[in-house]
Structure 1
């Protein structure tokens, strides 16, 4: 059965990793990949999949488009995608409803109206990002005069959805998508642990030497690319509270120019205030060894599509602590997962708002207040009792149980079986 997997780009990140996993899980199928940009074409070609780059699939520049411009782009995108399809092809499109390119969203809707079998793999939703949704309105409603909900969630038997969690499954049902057209498709955990990986203590010793940090302190790693929703200010605040006994590292810088400005402000803030967090640790030491050598992985993110950070580190015997995102972790907990220390809110003395909801300037002011002792650390611990156990020892029993659940419930093989069943249901 021919499958065309499409996305705006193949830049390093979560969606690209999932596309790679899908190709691996669909071994034996005829697969093409359509993207707007691909910095490393070998990642697809080495998997014996066809790669076609259609620049118009990439994110659309945000400016005022004339009706003529929009219609010309629509015609080209529609024709370029249509050229890659046969009558029995499943078009598996990632993040089609995110609002980064409304013309692509509308083109795929039109293809579905013509009978193309579309599988809309929803990692994120424009409804959660107001500027993206307004961009959809500008193009789909103002220029093409179409009902946005109909374009995003068409009531067509050949238009199916994939979601990452039960929260999004329920969301689609509320938006009018019938349950038989929704596949609950948790991401596979495909973290490759090397056979020759050193023991945890040896890995930590090596990493600490390479990073020139004290091996006698705990090593806590935030394995993310620093973007707004990863809430790096909270990560920095926690470091201030624990730096007498903990080293903190975060793995990657952002790539989006909008995010880089925020990131640079935090880098400068840490430099001026002599806050010794290790930024971009993933570019300085082997990533796998870093996670293996870490005593804990931490997350302060307040928004995730799937929440891979809650799962992967356990495969390297590294517990995960930090901020809980209930609509993400509830699925893992339902599977039997145990998380040692997760919290829902970080209270600040004298402020009613959760720390994550404060803007960058206010977060910096609070951290400065803790550094200058205007805000007492003791009061922070009193108002957030869970911090007292944030880095408590985790039993090997919990680690082994979580590893077993990952291997049983989030395997690549099981993922491929689910996908193939859904495709066959669509093709008939």
Structure 2
């Protein structure tokens, strides 16, 4: 078997880390693996590779007619097939394509549709769905490819594809593997544990405002640290704004800690890992700390945690919401912005589908009601402006922390989490087990070439565009 892995780039990040582990799994299984990427890799992927320029991200703000996109797709299909042939030496290959359904390159899905119609074996792995509250990433006016198998990272996305018309026989569940060396790094000793670590890039959906809020309750011997800044220039202004607010309020949160210290060195000082993220494709930050013997505290994500809990992993240090007391932010102004955001989402859905589905208005009404409930909004639902207003009060008004504690008693000791157990359950996410699943998915893809249908995009939107998935920092 020859596998050609396809992705827009090979820059450092979550998808690239997964691709590296998949390539390693192929080598262990005796599968010839190759890489096609839109940009030259910054370091060696460990397998033969080629750059296909037409695979790179589209320029920001690019808008094209469907006919133009289809034309680019036809050219990209030819380029992908030619590059795959050069790398593999000819003969059949299996294309393992990562994240084509988010509109980073509008030509990729049409290219895959063309390749599939010519008999190519294609496994599409969706790490994220644009239909899951990512309106700027929705494909416009074109269906997803037909004749492909699909793979997802979690059970929720599996069910969403099934509800969108795919047969269960055409969907594989491929959770991300843990790095093989994670468990080899010992946890911090009690005398050195002076950090609560957030090991992520500080992109908006990581919800850094909530980390600043949590830091208000840390004892004097603990500080919070975020490891890395965003890569995308578009995300840097909000990241810098949180850094400035931390300085102004005196919040004990260090940013970009991973630029001056290795991740292992930071873990050697870590008492607890924290996550305040409001959107994850897989939820790797819930697993790696446990493999290192470090507990996890913070926000529970209903989109990914049920899979881990079903595997026997427990998370006693997580909360489902962080209620904001009345009067700590300008509710009327936020409500106005909320209406504008939801109308923008509705317009994006209509543009993607070519019409406004009948259920959309009622769904947006439900989201508005859920965002501002009588018991107070969840801090993670608020946008950056409302979060900053609440943070100013919490750090400068001596009465504000106690009002937060009254609604969220766990705040008094949120970082105190017992050491993790259930290390045997982590075996489900070991490189060996995940590698076996990957090979099995490849074998099923080869056996079912051309048989997959295309998911109904309106049904996929209806399954994923739900109130419990709405968080302003995740848009």
Alignment equivalent of 2:129, drawn from 114, 118, 125: 125
CA deviations 1:362-386 (Å, max 9, x no partner) are: 1111111011116521121110122
Task: Give 1:270 deviation, angstroms.
Answer: 1.9
Partner of 1:32: 34
Displacement after TM superposition at 1:166 (Å): 0.5
Map 1:220-369 → 2, pairs under 5 A: 220-350=196-326, 352-369=376-393
For 2:429, the equivalent position in structure 1 comes to 410
Q: 2:54 matched to 1:63?
A: no
Q: Is the 8 A contact 2:278 2:380 kept in 1?
A: yes
CA distance in 2 between partners of 1:168 and 1:324 (Å): 17
> Post-superposition shift, 1:315?
1.8
Question: Partners of 2:221 and 2:315 in 1: how far apart?
Answer: 22
Contact 1:11–1:38 (Cα < 8 Å) also in 2: no
Structure 2 SS opposite 1:177? coil
RMSD: 2.0
Q: How far apart, CA to CA, are the structure 2 residues paired with 1:340 and 1:162?
A: 30
Q: Distance in 2 between matches of 1:281 and 1:160?
A: 40
Q: For the Cα contact (< 8 Å) 1:164–1:186, is it kept in 2?
A: yes
Relative to structure 1, the CA distance from residue 67 to residue 242 in structure 2 (aligned partners, 3 Å threshold; closer, same or farther) is closer
Q: Give per-residue Cα distances to partners, 1:121-166, cap 9 Å, x unaligned.
A: 0100111211111xx21xxx2xxxxxx3xx3152x3xx10111011
| Deviations 1:63-86 (CA, angstroms, capped at 9, x unpaired) | 233677545533331111111145
CA distance in 2, matches of 1:39, 1:2: 21
> How far apart, in 2, do the equivalents of 1:318 and 1:77 lie?
45
Q: What CA distance in whole angstroms lies between the structure 1 residues aligned with 2:416 and 2:40?
A: 43
Moved more, 124-133 or 236-245: 236-245
Task: Say how many residue pairs are matched.
Answer: 390
CA contact (8 A) 1:221 1:298 kept: yes
Residues 243, 38 of structure 1: alpha-carbon distance in 2 compared, 3 angstrom cutoff:
farther
Cα distance in 2 between the residues matched to 1:199 and 1:244: 21
Q: Which runs of 5+ in 2 are unaligned?
A: 328-375, 448-475
The two structures have a TM-score, normalised by structure 1, of 0.86
The answer (yes or no) to whether the contact 1:298–1:320 under 8 Å persists in 2 is yes
Structural mapping, 1:129-168, within 5 Å? 129-133=134-138, 136-137=139-140, 141=141, 148=142, 151-152=143-144, 154=146, 156=147, 159-168=148-157
Kept after mapping to 1: 8 A contact 2:217/2:413:
no
Alignment check: 8 A CA contact 1:153 1:177 kept:
no
1:145 aligned partner: none
Q: Does 1:103 align with 2:107?
A: yes
- Distance in 2 of aligned mates of 1:353 and 1:19: 38
Asked whether the 8 Å contact 1:4–1:90 carries over to 2, the reply is yes
CA separation of 1:70 and 1:165: change in aligned 2, threshold 3 A: closer
